[in-house]
Structure 1
């Protein structure tokens, strides 16, 4: 939950931060994009380092830096300092969020790993709706600095719980801590066309859902005409969809082939994104009130979140299983593609596609079409040239 908490709790505070520092919507969006960009850059290294040092040391060190950066934001005196601290938060947060996925695969395999990953995704799905609500409640205590203090305290809790975890990578299974070994593991994973196709398919397919998260401050306040405490109106349906999809993934473990489930997820997201586009084109703009006029524009995103979650958790295991001896590196590079797309969505694309709900819907369709084509390419290649690992 750490990643979504770091992103979404800040949304309700955008107005206050902008007023205090005289920042425009585009500048405020950088609080999200620089976090995601720095997260993406460092994500390349967290996994390989955990392959060499063990999972817990990397997670705990990252959490310590993250907590310092969070509480440092409380003391920020300008927009430049706040953005710099968001960079530091992004560089450190991935140590816990990325490596924790590897821990699951270290300890579990097959259907049990898929069930646990689905359970984790259900918990993960709660955080985007809890986070902006928490941010809104923290604003009732004072100014926007309370938001960063609250998330910092959550980081302390995560660090304590991580310290109590077992180490899942024994010393005998670790790679040597040498630059050549770390770079070598990244090279072995990164040169795999199979990995690149799957990772890009994940990033672009999930972007159909994440576009609503990245553009939430503009969608909720400007396009829907709601207030700072009303982010739950958008995030509630998104989370209901993700939790329902994750539940289905968990129940399908062992009963349905993983590849078939992923394919079903992409087909479903194609259909639901098309439905969402039709709904926002047919029905008039919402009234700006919490009433029935919101239903048509929220049904589509909820269904898209459901179908996207059908492929998101299983496809993580698909990437990890490609490289059983370099799972950390595989998790890092697999996550890197998603993070880069998310960063571009938050800082560059979101301000450009939020002129209307229709434009947002069109963007979601484009993303899922691209992701589906890449997944189809992967299936065709696998049938034509079956191989055990990289191609």
Structure 2
């Protein structure tokens, strides 16, 4: 891959080559999902210590996601004004401190406070790293790099609960937060030692409230952006039902133990990895619009298969077939929609990345805190909720395709 100068940039800036850059960007993007899923095996122990119900413990996930979503509208515009690296470094520093606060929390209330602060800072690396990709590369090269990052990024939800289970064999649940704090320190070192500043001073936006808010409003007022953001948010939510609802699905509905989250996550994330890999392989060979068309059709098929299997065979291994198929199509769709949203605003890529993340994260927060407790009575009701979200994502994409189609 050879870097492409972003619009308005001066000389091409030196960048790490090949997998060094890919692994660095993937490590930064993994912070968000890793922080969600690593703690899942500790829910039972936390419930006993704090005397909390499963519904109350779901708020450990939902408040993190909600704070992540709310703060996501700030990280991108700040990086448009100050540069990518400073915003990521400050965010990672706050994330490390918040992780330590979670580990030391004496009650569920204080743990929720720590999770809110974690969410406020975690998005800096996850969101801004996507803007870095589009700063440095364009066209098929950007698609390939985004797909490679997504392949590694997708592994995080699969290995995170497994890692959390291993940690619980050696210590209590606070050690999980000490572990993710150490991961944050590693991310700081990667930004300092590996990642270049991809936005030179001459391409930055003025650091004024009016400029920051104006950039966000410029993005938010775009109907094309809103359609793409909703398509991505709904489609990802159909898949994410099984990620944020994993404690209920694995422990309650499937009757498995704290060390068994891999039964759901390994095939599901394996599907996502396969889909992201296919996106990279097809870059420059298949038209992006056509590829999304096919993948959205695949999402409907996968959701239907999931509902049928949940109704007639609500047990393993059939219970994970539908989520795995959805993982494949979401792995294809999500990187492409992210790039399409960034390409709409060459001068405000940080703001576009923030608003795109805000839409997806807001839906995921609602899933974790409100929707999952209501729809997860059985595997069938969970599958029906997933299918409804997938259908909404397809509808948004169809609307967008018709809106941008050339008039005969």
**Does the TM-score normalized on the shorter chain lie above 0.5?**
yes
- 2:366 is aligned to 344
The answer on whether the counterparts of 1:265 and 1:309 sit within 8 Å (CA) in structure 2 is no
The answer on whether the counterparts of 1:201 and 1:374 sit within 8 Å (CA) in structure 2 is yes
C-alpha separation in 1, matches of 2:161 and 2:386: 22
After superposition, give the CA deviation of every residue in 1:157-212 in whole Å (9 maximum; x if it has no partner). Answer: 01110112110000000011011110110111111111111101100011111000
SS at match of 1:177: coil
SS at match of 1:326: helix
Q: Tell me which of 145, 148, 166 is aligned to 2:196.
A: 166
After superposition, give the CA deviation of every residue in 1:293-341 in whole Å (9 maximum; x if it has no partner). Answer: x111111110111011111001100000000000000010011100000
C-alpha separation in 1, matches of 2:361 and 2:229: 11
Alignment of 1:257-336 (within 5 A): 257-283=287-313, 285-286=314-315, 294-336=316-358
Q: TM-score, normalised by structure 2?
A: 0.92
- The alpha carbon displacement at 1:6 in A equals 0.3
C-alpha separation in 1, matches of 2:139 and 2:223: 24
Q: Is 1:28 matched up with 2:57?
A: yes
C-alpha separation in 2, matches of 1:297 and 1:219: 10
After superposition, give the CA deviation of every residue in 1:83-115 in whole Å (9 maximum; x if it has no partner). Answer: 001000000000000000000000000000000
- 2:251 is aligned to 221
SS at match of 2:405: helix
C-alpha separation in 1, matches of 2:326 and 2:199: 36
Unmatched runs of 5 consecutive residues or more in structure 1: 287-293, 387-391
Q: Tell me which of 185, 191, 202 is aligned to 2:215.
A: 185
- 1:130 is aligned to 159
Unmatched runs of 5 consecutive residues or more in structure 2: 1-29
- 2:144 is aligned to 115
- 2:279 is aligned to 249
Q: Is 1:71 matched up with 2:93?
A: no
- The alpha carbon displacement at 1:384 in A equals 5.1
Q: TM-score, normalised by structure 1?
A: 0.95
After superposition, give the CA deviation of every residue in 1:12-44 in whole Å (9 maximum; x if it has no partner). Answer: 000111110111111100010000000000000
- The alpha carbon displacement at 1:282 in A equals 1.4
The answer on whether the counterparts of 1:202 and 1:315 sit within 8 Å (CA) in structure 2 is yes
C-alpha separation in 1, matches of 2:310 and 2:403: 37
Q: Is 1:373 matched up with 2:402?
A: no
C-alpha separation in 2, matches of 1:263 and 1:331: 23
- 1:104 is aligned to 133
| Matched positions, count | 378
SS at match of 1:131: helix
Q: Aligned Cα RMSD in Å?
A: 1.0
- 1:49 is aligned to 78
